[in-house]
């Protein structure tokens, strides 16, 4: 069985055919789909989907991209839902720092630290978003003494940065970017890293693989990412699938 460790199946892009996508995934052997939250208004919908579909596993968090809608009450709601659905939620996420978007860095950092503290309190791993922010993210994880690890979504840093995250207990998300020959650095890093540090993800509906540019990405494309990683590493798809599945099951909570 394959696990898509990061997809946004709650987005409106899937409103017309969500059930069909989930059924297609099951037929392809993609049996679990992790949906990270992005803003407080999405959390109830993700939890509802996880009640409707056994394949869907919810994470809840405040993504830096959506912090223009942030209210302090969002953090109180996060604590309430993590407590209420403690046997269902797999992580706090998608949280992090994005140094490209036009959201105040101070606000991003404050909300990140508060969410790391909440995750620490609930003994939960986190799903991390990064853009041009590895140094600040790593520094913050160390300063907060965050000890539950998690997944660095869509990792695209250096081998040294990868190894630092691994030392901090994190797995690295491998997605559609590795299917593009021009992504030399990321392709080389995922080739060199130990397989027990990697998890597979699509980030659907975004980040479509090579050959599907301009189209809605789907968890079904996880097969393309698996095959490309197999080609890069010269390891069988079966070996990669088994280890990456094990990695997710042992990093996130409640993945039964």
Residues annotated in the binding site for a divalent metal cation, as ranges? 6, 8, 94, 129, 153, 203
Phi, psi values for residue 81, rounded to 5°? -70, -35
Query: β-pairing, 2-4 with 56-60?
Result: unpaired
Distances (CA, A) of 77 to 59, 72, 92, 196, 199: 14, 9, 13, 34, 29
CA of residue 151 relative to chain centroid, distance: 6
Please give the structure tokens belonging to residue 52: 């409707």
Taking the C-alpha atoms of residue 94 and residue 6, their distance in angstroms, rounded to an integer, is 9
| Annotated binding-site ranges | 6, 8, 94, 129, 153, 203
What three-state secondary structure class fits 33? Answer: strand
CA of residue 58 relative to chain centroid, distance: 11
Taking the C-alpha atoms of residue 14 and residue 197, their distance in angstroms, rounded to an integer, is 30
Nearest to 171 by CA among 148, 205, 142: 148
């Amino acid at each position: 069985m394959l696990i898509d460790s990061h997809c946004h199946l709650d987005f409106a892009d899937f409103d017309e055919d969500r059930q069909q996508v989930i059924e297609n995934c099951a037929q392809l052997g993609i049996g679990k789909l992790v949906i990270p939250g992005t803003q407080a208004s999405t959390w109830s919908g993700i939890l509802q989907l996880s009640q409707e579909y056994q394949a869907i596993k919810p994470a809840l968090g405040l993504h830096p991209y959506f912090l223009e809608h942030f209210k302090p009450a969002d953090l109180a709601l996060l604590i309430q839902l993590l407590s209420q659905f403690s046997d269902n939620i797999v992580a706090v996420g998608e949280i992090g720092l994005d140094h490209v978007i036009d959201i105040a860095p101070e606000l991003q950092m404050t909300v990140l630290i508060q969410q790391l503290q909440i995750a620490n309190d609930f003994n939960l791993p986190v799903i991390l978003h990064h853009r041009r922010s590895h140094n600040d993210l790593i520094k913050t994880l160390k300063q907060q003494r965050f000890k539950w690890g998690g997944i660095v979504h869509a990792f695209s840093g250096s081998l040294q940065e990868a190894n630092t995250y691994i030392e901090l207990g994190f797995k690295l998300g491998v997605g559609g970017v590795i299917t593009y020959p021009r992504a030399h650095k990321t392709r080389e890093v995922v080739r060199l890293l130990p397989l027990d540090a990697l998890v597979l993800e699509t980030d659907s509906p975004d980040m479509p693989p090579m050959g599907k540019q301009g189209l809605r990405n789907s968890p079904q494309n996880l097969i393309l990412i698996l095959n490309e990683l197999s080609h890069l590493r010269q390891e069988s798809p079966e070996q990669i699938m088994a280890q990456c599945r094990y990695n997710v099951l042992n990093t996130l909570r409640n993945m039964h």
